[in-house]
Structure 1
Amino acid sequence: MAKKIKIKSKSQEEAVKKALLDLNVSEEDIEVVELEAPSKGFLGFIGSKEGLYEITVIERETDVAKSFIETLLKNAKVNADVEVKQEDNLIKVNIKGDEAACLIGRRGDTLDSIQFLTGLALNKINKDSHTRVLVDIENYREKREESLIRYANKMAREVAKTKKTKKLDYMNPYERRIIHSALQNDRYVITYSEGTDPYRRLVIEYKR
């Protein structure tokens, strides 16, 4: 829930200055609503009345993602840094630190769970958002992608040589897409998926 405070002040400008100090945020991170207008009173001071302003901290998706993962790390007692940047409709979160590797899990399954939960946290503040989130730890996903492409090419060469179909291990949708993409223009093999998640696997078949 967005953080809100109410401030009585002689002017909106003065209320904003006080809010920025109290909330420790920048002016672009708040919204101001005048609930009651100030009045100067008789002769400018007799019966004057302060205005009432409601200050709301804007919940940016990048901030929510960063805060959610930092809380998760704290609860898991993992000492790591969190870097967040947004590229169009994609929020990229990179967790850095030697201790963070324990959160990758077997073939990235724990990391995928963290990514899924972060997405749910973002959806909570804006159900109509089309923003996706990608969570990575020490560039694991890039290294995993390179490893999968090498594996895909090796399996494709084996299928092309033996003309025997290969069924790969169970993979998540992200990993299957990498292999599909790596082999989509291969002259000798085709790829397709079979089964249902989480037991869905990719098949490499000789192109007849």
Structure 2
Amino acid sequence: MPTFQGTTMQKAIDAGLLALGVARDQVTVDVIQEGKRGLLGFGKQVAIVNLNVIAPATPEPAPAAPVAEPAKHHLPHHSNPKRDDQTALALVQSYLEDITRELGLAATITSERRGDHVWYQIATDKEALLIGKHGKIINAIQYLAQTEFNHYGKAKWTIMLNVGDYRERRDAAVRRLAEKSAREVVARGTSVYLDPMPAFERKAIHATLADNAYVTTHSEGNDPRRYVVITPQARR
């Protein structure tokens, strides 16, 4: 029996009807799991349903009629739903809308693909609630949005989330931190260990100091506690 998923029960049923090419009154629905929104993605569950196509009644053949080989009626075959990038992006959009709604925020969410990155821009009057201290909330939401896309999509796209101009301001701050830390390393002659950062911020540190003749950089640890180490360049 085909199984379908969605962020809500209705979306799961709609996905099944679309995949099977039938109307609502042509199927019976068995609920496997009711969807839960959760908060910031925690405790979230997708809705899962089974759809069983109701076979149309066929009249019994007349006794005197010659027995013929029965016609073969093929219903659309469905295993697991195929991964689809546009569907995955729509689910990410729905996920972000659910979060802002749960937080009671009036927000407008737009998206734009730039190469292998898909940016979701959130405009709201209460930016701080979505950004959090040192960007912890926005980074957590972005991680969960990436997980959502990876589950349903097939492309190796990176999901990026921005609230106002936070990412631009944060990128400038990270690069200033890189340069300041490099000067400290040169002055003290010892390595500096930065706080854990998401991958895209660590890349900004590495890129900023890539041409610095006095220091080198590398990352240590495991996500989400992976961090950058800035070390004095070995003298030749």
> For the superposition of Structure 1 and Structure 2, which TM-score range results when normalised by the shorter chain?
0.5 to 0.7
Tell me the CA shift for residue 207 of structure 1. 0.8
Give the alignment's TM-score, normalised by structure 2. Answer: 0.59
CA distance in 1, matches of 2:151, 2:136: 23
Alignment deviations for residues 141-200 of structure 1 (CA, whole Å, 9 cap, x no partner): 111110010111111122223322222222232222111111011011111222333333
Residue among 176, 180, 193 paired with 2:219: 193
Quick one: which amino acid aligns to residue 77 of structure 1? Answer: G
Give the alignment's TM-score, normalised by structure 1. Answer: 0.67
> Which residue does 2:150 correspond to in 1?
123
Give unmatched runs, 5+ long, in structure 2.
1-11, 24-83
> Which residue does 1:181 correspond to in 2?
207
1:74 aligned onto 2:101: yes
- Going from structure 1 to structure 2, the CA distance change for 1:138 and 1:130 (only over 3 Å counts) comes to same
> Which residue does 1:49 correspond to in 2?
none
Classify the secondary structure of the residue corresponding to 1:170. coil
1:36-51 matched pairs, under 5 angstroms: none
- Going from structure 1 to structure 2, the CA distance change for 1:195 and 1:81 (only over 3 Å counts) comes to same
1:22-61 matched pairs, under 5 angstroms: 60-61=87-88
> Which residue does 1:112 correspond to in 2?
139
Give unmatched runs, 5+ long, in structure 1.
8-57
CA distance in 2, matches of 1:87, 1:162: 41
1:163 aligned onto 2:207: no
> Which residue does 1:152 correspond to in 2?
178
- Going from structure 1 to structure 2, the CA distance change for 1:60 and 1:203 (only over 3 Å counts) comes to same
Aligned residue pairs total 158
CA distance in 2, matches of 1:198, 1:133: 16
Residue pair 1:103, 1:110 contacting (<8 A) in 2 also: yes
1:132 aligned onto 2:132: no
User: What CA RMSD, in Å, does the superposition of the two structures yield over aligned residues?
Assistant: 2.4
1:64 aligned onto 2:91: yes
CA distance in 1, matches of 2:129, 2:214: 39
CA distance in 2, matches of 1:172, 1:123: 17
CA distance in 2, matches of 1:61, 1:137: 21
CA distance in 1, matches of 2:224, 2:146: 19
